[in-house]
Amino acid sequence: MTTSSESGEAPSAALRTEALEQLLTERGLIDSEIVDAFITNYETNVGPLNGAKVVAKAWTDPEYRRRLLADGTSAIKELGFGGPQGEHIVVVENTPTTHNVVVCTLCSCYPWPVLGLPPGWYKDPVYRARVVKEPRTVLSEMGLDLGDDVHITVRDSTSEVRWLVLPERPAGTEHLTEEELVPLVTRDAMVGVAKAAAA
């Protein structure tokens, strides 16, 4: 059997992570149960579903939407979402004529309490560099074509401020309840690289 190192290929990130965790556990530097609990928390309790609930509430409750746009952090905490990487979240709204897209040009600052862990493409240096210089082209390459009449604003997240996009509510969803709207809201729509799904 040929290993990846023997064949000249680098081991996958998952294998490297597993090996590192095993080494740190064997040396008593970490507790594997704590690591497992942390991962489970971000897979089940923290993630895009939280953000989708925030968006769906804003779509159906005008007063909540006002509070969300005025003070995102406080309004998000009203729904019980907060914690590390969510200390200061600013929410911006996409409209038919204005589109916001989020990037972190320095690293991968991201509002974990409402979006979970950042996807690989968000951390990619190519995305981080290009979306600032040519956002319309990058969005088109990711499947979102915006008309020339739509003004695009790139929001740069930092360790002090993390951005969340309130996407446009899809047409034809006026009859849907808050709970029924939640599945239409994707992580990518809350980053601004996609629109919310149609009903």
Q: Is 109 a catalytic residue?
A: yes
| 109 labelled binding-site residue | yes
Q: In sequence order, which ranges of 1-88 are alpha helices (DSSP H)?
A: 13-26, 32-40, 48-60, 62-70, 72-78
Q: Is 7 a catalytic residue?
A: no
Give the active site residue among 12, 32, 74, 107.
107
| 159 labelled binding-site residue | no
Q: Which amino acid type is present at position 35?
A: V
| 4 labelled binding-site residue | no
Give the integer Cα–Cα distance in Å for 68 and 51: 12
Give the active site residue among 109, 140, 157, 159.
109
Q: Is 104 a catalytic residue?
A: yes
Q: Is 32 a catalytic residue?
A: no
Give the integer Cα–Cα distance in Å for 95 and 91: 13
Angle formed by the axes of helices 62-70 and 48-60, to 10°?
A: 120
For CA atoms 88, 125, 106, 131, give the dihedral sign.
negative
Give the active site residue among 104, 140, 157, 159.
104
Give the integer Cα–Cα distance in Å for 159 and 85: 8
Q: Is 53 helix (H, G, I), strand (E, B) or coil?
A: helix
Report the largest interatomic distance among the alpha carbons of the chain, rounded to a whole angstrom.
Answer: 63
Give the active site residue among 108, 140, 157, 159.
108
Residues classed as catalytic: 104, 107-109
Cite the annotated binding site for Fe(3+) by residue number.
104, 107-109
